[in-house]
Amino acid sequence: MKNSQPYHGEWWIPAEVHPDNYGIYPMVHKGMEARYTGTLTYHDNEDTILELYHVPSHFHSKQFAHNPVIWGRDANGHTFTLFNVWMREQRLGDFSKTTFVVSMILVGEHVISMDDAHFSKCIVSFPYLRNWAFRSKLRRRDESDNYHYTLTDIYKEGYLTEQSVDKGIEWKLRDWYTLNFTRYELNITQDTKFMIDAPEGISVRECLGQIGEFSQFLSIALYCEQNPSEVVFYTKDTNNKLELLFKKGESVAPAAVSLIKFDQLQSKIPSMLRTWHDNFDKVSPISGYLIDSLGKNSSFDVPDFLIIAQALDGYHKRFMNKKDGRDVRQYKEQMDALLKAFEEVDVIRNCKIDPAVLTDSRNKYSHLYPDDEESKAVKGGRLYRLTEKCKILLTCCLLNMMGLTSEEINICCNQSPIDAMVNSLSFD
């Protein structure tokens, strides 16, 4: 397990004055709760475990069910709020140790719930965000025609882009720098972070939802799965810095060239982010299927094809159907409409997707028709290549949903991981 960190201390359920707690703790007052010694062990790639010692059997079922958090303080004075705690083990008749699984840990303050709008901003690190969004014109030429950094250049610009996504909430991509002074030189490490700015207040739950939205957006932009590596909150009134500890997902190292070209489409990035946020409830299952399919699996099977084929069906139903006044329900007509919409996109023309082959393959492996019925369905290597073509078509659909024209989709796809895929595979 990576970065295993134990915290020994006291843990308790807060008796805060909160609407959910009225009548639950009539004899318990704030600061006088029953406290239990125990150890919290955090792992960044495995479940976090809380072990409490000599806990009564009704601790979880009678008390915690009415309060969404557990509070704690370790021997070094660190303050913890534990979210989404559930009992994993308590041996029958033995209350010397009870084991809980903890979903997330907020270090620095006690918060009453995940829905408490206690924070003014949230800053999120992604290991490969800089690979997509960075300021390439940081350096300038001096009179001797040499490149050099100046502190004025560094601090003059703060945000690469920003966009209001909800009332009082903005998404920002912020430049971040680490300055390392040595005796002879100044070394500057440039980074980019995602910021949720909410001066009026935002909760942990809202932030996590929006982090998930941006994670999917960045995964599409880099054309490989991306997950946050660090989340930091700042409180609304005191501006205290609180760290969120959570089970981290792996991020895949991207190709040298991204899909969504940040430098060429920078003026459109804010509107793309806003459109992505506004449509996320409808698009997230579709984009989630695509992102999952980008992983390099050791084997390929029919379900891998069906997931993408059905995602195309879902996209047409949610974002294209009835745009021309027609109610299209037949799969082949849906695919005809999608291919026609992208007939000016180079990679789609090069793929040469046959909607009849796609339709028959989808119907055959979905068991919509008898196996012995005449069909153009493909199998084996041809089914694999058809799946790769469908991924490319689905990617163009998502780019179009975000407001890009065919010309701008060509900017994205040409000289991209998709372009390399088309050139490397023998499309039949």
Check whether 180 has a pLDDT greater than 80: no
For 50, the 3-state DSSP assignment is strand
Check whether 62 has a pLDDT greater than 50: no
Question: Within its chain, how far is the Cα of 98 from the centroid?
Answer: 33
Query: What is the per-residue pLDDT across 145-173, written as a single tens digit (0 to 9) for each?
Result: 444 444 444 444 467 888 999 889 999 99
pLDDT average, residue stretch 76-93: 82
Query: What is the per-residue pLDDT across 100-142, written as a single tens digit (0 to 9) for each?
Result: 899 999 999 999 889 999 999 999 999 999 999 876 544 443 4
Write down the pLDDT at residue 135: 62
Delineate the domains of the chain, giving CATH numbers in brackets. Answer: 5-107 (2.40.10), 119-246 (no CATH), 294-424 (no CATH)
Tell me the C-alpha distance between 397 and 392, whole Å: 9
Check whether 176 has a pLDDT greater than 80: no
pTM of the entire predicted model:
0.87
Write down the pLDDT at residue 259: 96
347 confidence band (pLDDT: 50, 70, 90): very high
Residue 168, Ramachandran bin (φ over 0: left; ψ between -120 and 50: alpha; else beta):
left
Residue pair 204/90 in contact by the 8 Å Cβ criterion: no
Tell me the average pLDDT of the chain: 85
**Stretch (H or E) spanning 19:** none
Phi, psi (5° rounding) for residue 118?
Answer: -100, -5
* Burial of residue 161, with CB atoms counted within 10 A of its CB: 0-12 exposed, 13-18 middle, 19 or more buried: middle
Check whether 74 has a pLDDT greater than 90: yes
Query: What is the per-residue pLDDT across 372-392, written as a single tens digit (0 to 9) for each?
Result: 778 888 999 999 999 999 999
The amino acid at 204: V
For 380, the 3-state DSSP assignment is helix
Tell me the C-alpha distance between 28 and 154, whole Å: 54
CB atoms within 10 A of CB 136: 7
